[in-house]
Amino acid sequence: MSADLFSPSLQHWLDLAGIFVFAISGALLGVRKNFDVFGMAVLALVTGLGGGLFRDLVIGSVPPAAFADLGYFLTPLVATLLVFFLHPEVERINTAVGVFDAAGLGLFCVAGTVKAYEHGLGMTASTALGVATAAGGGVLRDMLAGEVPALLRWDREIYAVPALLGATLTALLLKADQLSPAAGAAAAALAFTVRLLAMRYGWRAPRAWQRRSGRAGEA
Q: Where are the alpha helices (DSSP H) in 33-122?
A: 37-59, 65-68, 70-92, 94-118
Query: 21 CB contacts (<8 Å, ≥6 apart)?
Result: 97, 100, 101, 103, 104
In a domain, 147, yes or no: yes
Residue 219 lies in a domain: no
The pLDDT tens digits for 7-51 are: 777 778 878 888 998 999 899 999 989 999 999 999 999 999 999
Residue 68 belongs to domain spanning: 8-201
SS3 67: helix
pLDDT, residue 2, reads 39
Residue 120: inside a domain = yes
In a domain, 3, yes or no: no
Q: How confident is the model at residue 195 (pLDDT cuts 50, 70, 90)?
A: very high
Return the amino acid letter for 167.
A
Rounded CA-CA distance 35/13 in Å is: 29
pLDDT tens-digit series, residues 179-190 = 998 999 999 999
The amino acid at residue 120 is G
Are 182 and 5 within 8 A, CB to CB?
no
- Residue 208 covered by a domain: no
Could you tell me what percent of the chain has a pLDDT over 90? Answer: 65
Whether 2 is in a domain gets the answer no
pLDDT at 100: 81
Establish if 121 belongs to a structural domain: yes
In this predicted structure, the answer to whether residue 216 has a pLDDT above a threshold of 70 is no
Number of domains in the chain: 1
Q: Is residue 186 part of a domain?
A: yes
User: Are residues 162 and 105 in contact, defined by beta-carbon separation less than 8 angstroms?
Assistant: yes
Residue pLDDT, tens place only, 111-150: 999 999 999 999 999 999 999 999 999 999 999 999 999 8
**Count of C-beta atoms within a 10 Å radius of residue 23:** 30
